[in-house]
Structures are given as C-alpha cells and as structure tokens.
Amino acid sequence: MQEEEKKKSGNFFKNLKNRYRLVILNDSNFEERFSFKLTKLNLYTGISSILLILIFVIISVIVFTPVKQYIPGYGDLGMRAQLIDLNIKTDSLEMVVAQREAWIDNIKYILRGEIETEFPDTSEESLAADFYYDTIRLDKISPEEALLRQAVEQEMQTSIFYEGTNQPGSFSYLEKNFMTPMRGLVTAEFDPGKGHYGIDVVAESNSPVKAIYDGVVVFAEWTLETGYVIAVQHSDNLLSFYKHNSVLLKKVGSFVKTGDVIAVFGDSGEYSSGPHLHFELWQNGVAVNPRDYIIF
C-alpha cells in the first residue's frame, strides 16, 4: 500500500511537469495560427498569479478610492468623526438652550410677580449668632495667642457690623457708578413682604427712563400686567427692570451705556394705578432695595 501511494504521489508531480502543446487552428481550413507549450504547473502558476493580481487591484481600489463608501458597513471614517463631533456639539447646545430657557422663564416669573424670594436675615444679632467667640478656651493657649485672637475677633466684628462688605446684595464697586433711572418722587417703597419688589417713582409726563449701568437689553416687550417692560442685564449677575413705560426705545440684544435713554415714562399695564415708573433691582435671583444703592 505504501509503495502504491508513493507511486501515485510521484506520478502526480511528474504529471505537473509533463509538457503539452496548445494549438490554435483556423476552423475553416485548419490552418495553425499559433501554438505554445505549457505544463500543468505553469498553468496553475499563471492562474494563481492572475488571481493574486486581481485581488491586490481590488483591495487597492477599495482602500485608496471613494469606492469604499458604497460598501455596506464600511462607511467613511472622516464622516464618522464629523458625526461624533456634531453629536458632542449638539449635546452642548442643548444644555445651553436649556439654561437659557430656564433663565428666560425666571425673568418672566419676575415680570409677572410670581417668584417667591427669600431674603436673608442680615441683622447684627443674626450675624453674631454665627460666631461662637465664647468657645475659645483661653486657658489652653499662650497669652500672646489669646491677645492675637481677641484682636482678630474685634476686627471681624467691625467689618461685619459696620463695613457691610460681607452682607448679601453688596456690589460696592458698581453702586458708585449707578445712575438714577428717573428723577422724581418715590411714591411706593420696596416691600417684598407685600410682593412689591421695587419702588415706584412719579415724574413729569414723557420723562426719559435711563439705564442705571452698562449692560445688554434682555427683555423688551408688552405684558398685560405691567405694560411696556424693559430689562437690562448688567455685570455681577445684576438685573434691572423698568415697568409701566409708554414707549420702549431699545430692543432685545441692544448694548446700553450708563445713562442711555431706554424708554419713556408712562402708565401702561393693568397693575398701574397711575403714571409712574416701577423700578426693580435683582442680584443673583434676589430682589434688593434700589434705595440702598441709588439716590432718587
């Protein structure tokens, strides 16, 4: 059996080397056109070489030409990167839009008087309650350190109760440059307990209403309750509102400087009890008393 298998394998390799002649004849007169010699090994080698060349050409066309875009599942890597980048930007824009919508809703609530504001207790008793000076055990420290602590405590008390720089609603670097929105007589004071988050000022007819500080107009529309209203966003998270105007002179997005005329004094809106300017000042979402920072 082994000898027969050896003979068969030997015959196979011999057959690969056997020479054959391929003759091409003219079918009408059997004239020989051309002929060439070949073996099975040459035939197999030639066919394999042609197939390898075809495979190489096809792969090159797919990799280095736009043809790859038409292959299902392959796609364009550059396009995929752009899609990922666009998705990231879309998510960021959605967050910005959501924040802007929440900010606009808060402004609308302020304009309608529907916002509930909690005012912190800034009385001396309340502030003093946050400091426990009697808990310092002077018997456990040196006399020099005890004197130093007493000096620091006295300085803290002075800065809290007299300077007022740590109190909420303080923007000292701004208040020096505030301009009166309209000179006139204050007829209603700031009273948040009764839902009156600003002051009412009466002046001569058609008096100009001015911006108290540099900023951008973020609201300038008609509302049923407060008539023609304009709001200006200032630095330090400060918002100023001017309500019950007869005419608005600035549009949303307009940049205004301190003292620019932005509206005309009037008597618009259902909540108006007569010609007056209702002026509000808000910082960080909390209404503050305009009289504390502006002279009317």
% residues pLDDT > 90 (the chain): 30
pTM (2 d.p.): 0.49
What would the mean pLDDT of 45-68 be, rounded to a whole number? 87
Let me know: does 17 contact 41? Beta carbons within 8 Å.
yes
Which of 28-37, 93-102, 276-285 shows the highest mean pLDDT?
276-285
Is residue 288 within 8 A of residue 281, CB to CB? The reply is yes
In DSSP terms, 240 is beta-bridged to: 232, 281
Average pLDDT over residues 95-112: 73
Distance of alpha carbon 53 from its chain centroid, rounded? 55
Phi, psi of 77 (to 5 degrees): -65, -40
